[in-house]
Structure 1
């Protein structure tokens, strides 16, 4: 059983982006000291939901501040990046960290990022399979070349070369099938519950014809307090201050309607579904997720209180009072 920390670099209204980024690195160090297996850093652009625009860059800082813990991206947005450029960055982090880096990638969304970075809506709508295949080729060989719709170039050496298998964020049946066909592990989001995660894993196995590589990862909210009532009360008070302005930052690149979610209902869902509560309740929630889904790797979003001292205390308390019982 692997338990990690998921850091969104969430900006609450009273904090600056710079403070959040510095606090994120401090949280990575605390997670290593608390005994977590890994930390995963999110990437977002032009919004307060998450203020880290380059998960790979911040992962490099985190690797330099630690010595044992694994560090991953959750995720680097592939629709706005050149796959070979991202592969080169991943290779650097893999080599200098002695293999502690994991690259997580995702398709992203139809957001204004595509306009700003010039990759365009077509890269999002139909270019993800080509981008993923080129990324995998660059991470698996000593040379790479391309002759597709979106990428076309002569063979070049990969310097430095590496051997990495990316993890793919999956939120749709199409992406689940794509990951399964390529034999790549999935990263499942905290916006779905155990039964939905289990269904996506079943779909993966069907698409993979029974062959499953292992290594799937699932994000959940993690918030521990003296009692479950206290933990739920805290998140009901704090999460809307982050989620309301944060989710509003998703701006479509075209005229399509932006998806909306009832914030109060979403917070209630997160509290009821994930390890939010007393230490004993958190242990039971994690065990239930493992039982229902078969997952063996969970990462906990620990920033829900919106206060750095509380976030660090949350990490340390999970390390002392939850992780030993889950692993036992």
Structure 2
């Protein structure tokens, strides 16, 4: 099993100084590289302090100069917010200055609130159409001159400048629905998935959809399949409680954005009381501890082995959950030292 890190610059409130946030985020990336992680992922989000990522490629450029070996991925560049020529060139530049370490992840986007500001009039549920038009164009631009006359973008002959260093940049698609799995297999992409806080059965569903898409495509493509879960390792009750309090607070803000149902002031989403939500059993502390990658090193090892047996060959350690910086780093170091050796 290979291991990847998803890490955001994040603030749950304005008590944290942005310089400390940036320093901590980079330190987490460097800890992951030192510990043997394969890839680190940056997101794209806009006008939200809980995920400070206005340009994932700019973040990767920063990390590239502060690391040596870890591969650098976008999870994900939101297709509808970009022009193909712009995205192709910026992604290729990251590959160039990093010595060929780019992993290119593209997706549809997450929150309707962001679409209302970045692409007014577009429903989040329709954004997959932009992603499906964008990806073949990006790959063509990386190869040389191409003109495009599509539904969403039209341009005369152009190319990506610069070109990627890698002959074939690995491409990843974030998938949770059959239509996306089918597209990823047709286009020979790798897949990452995020079951949110849902139980193991959700991962089983994604694996079933992946297997069906592989069979349907019937093109010989066998993708890398990575699954993401929020992670926190601890070995005492105080740290356990701190982790559960942090993730539940984060989820109360996430629900605001996911349902587009609450205020966002100066970039900070208001917390929606979890006991007021339908389906609030999804945020029960015991359920969260069971479903997420929470627990002692031995507990986490057993959880990972269950995913490995399912066919998940890569795990994405999602570090950003509003936990204090020392606790985040303590957890990641524990994972590197006590969990990863079991899978080498």
TM-score range for the pair, normalised by the shorter chain length: 0.7 to 0.9
Matched with 1:173 is 178
Cα offset, 1:289, TM superposition? 0.4
C-alpha separation in 1, matches of 2:169 and 2:255: 32
Matched with 2:271 is none
Matched with 1:33 is 34
C-alpha separation in 1, matches of 2:128 and 2:3: 33
Cα offset, 1:311, TM superposition? 0.9
* SS at 2:127 equivalent: helix
Match of residue 133, structure 1, among 123, 132, 136: 136
Cα offset, 1:65, TM superposition? 0.6
* SS at 2:169 equivalent: coil
Cα offset, 1:22, TM superposition? 3.5
**1:209 is aligned to 2:218:** yes
Match of residue 300, structure 1, among 308, 317, 323: 317
C-alpha separation in 2, matches of 1:35 and 1:99: 18
User: Does the aligned pair in 2 maintain the 1:80–1:119 contact within 8 Å?
Assistant: no
**1:12 is aligned to 2:12:** yes
Matched with 1:233 is 241
Deviations 1:224-278 (A, max 9, x none): 1115x6665333211122221233134759xxxxxx7756623654421233111
* SS at 2:122 equivalent: helix
RMSD: 2.5
Which 5+ residue runs of structure 2 have no aligned equivalent?
A: 262-276
CA 1:236 to 1:262, structure 2 compared with 1: closer, same or farther past 3 Å?
Answer: farther
**Greater mean deviation of Cα atoms: 27-36 or 206-215:** 206-215
**Greater mean deviation of Cα atoms: 218-227 or 182-191:** 218-227
Cα offset, 1:206, TM superposition? 2.8
1:98-177 superposed matches below 5 A? 98-109=99-110, 111-118=112-119, 120-121=121-122, 124=127, 126-139=129-142, 141-162=143-164, 163-177=168-182
1:263-274 superposed matches below 5 A? 265-266=282-283, 268-274=286-292
CA 1:5 to 1:264, structure 2 compared with 1: closer, same or farther past 3 Å?
Answer: farther
User: Does the aligned pair in 1 maintain the 2:111–2:257 contact within 8 Å?
Assistant: no
CA 1:36 to 1:316, structure 2 compared with 1: closer, same or farther past 3 Å?
Answer: same
**1:196 is aligned to 2:205:** yes
Matched with 1:257 is none
Return the TM-score normalized by structure 1.
0.87
CA 1:268 to 1:79, structure 2 compared with 1: closer, same or farther past 3 Å?
Answer: farther
* SS at 1:50 equivalent: coil
Deviations 1:168-200 (A, max 9, x none): 111222111111111111111141533123223
CA 1:305 to 1:131, structure 2 compared with 1: closer, same or farther past 3 Å?
Answer: closer
* SS at 1:295 equivalent: coil
C-alpha separation in 2, matches of 1:92 and 1:165: 15
C-alpha separation in 1, matches of 2:16 and 2:66: 23
C-alpha separation in 2, matches of 1:151 and 1:137: 14
User: Does the aligned pair in 2 maintain the 1:223–1:276 contact within 8 Å?
Assistant: yes
C-alpha separation in 2, matches of 1:17 and 1:172: 36
Cα offset, 1:279, TM superposition? 0.9
Match of residue 221, structure 1, among 186, 211, 230: 230
Deviations 1:269-326 (A, max 9, x none): 442123311111111111110101x121111012336111111111111111111112
CA 1:165 to 1:143, structure 2 compared with 1: closer, same or farther past 3 Å?
Answer: farther
Matched with 1:275 is 293
C-alpha separation in 2, matches of 1:135 and 1:98: 20
C-alpha separation in 1, matches of 2:314 and 2:325: 25
Matched with 2:267 is none
**1:94 is aligned to 2:112:** no
C-alpha separation in 1, matches of 2:331 and 2:322: 9
Question: How many residue pairs were aligned?
Answer: 318
Matched with 1:246 is 254
**Greater mean deviation of Cα atoms: 240-249 or 167-176:** 240-249
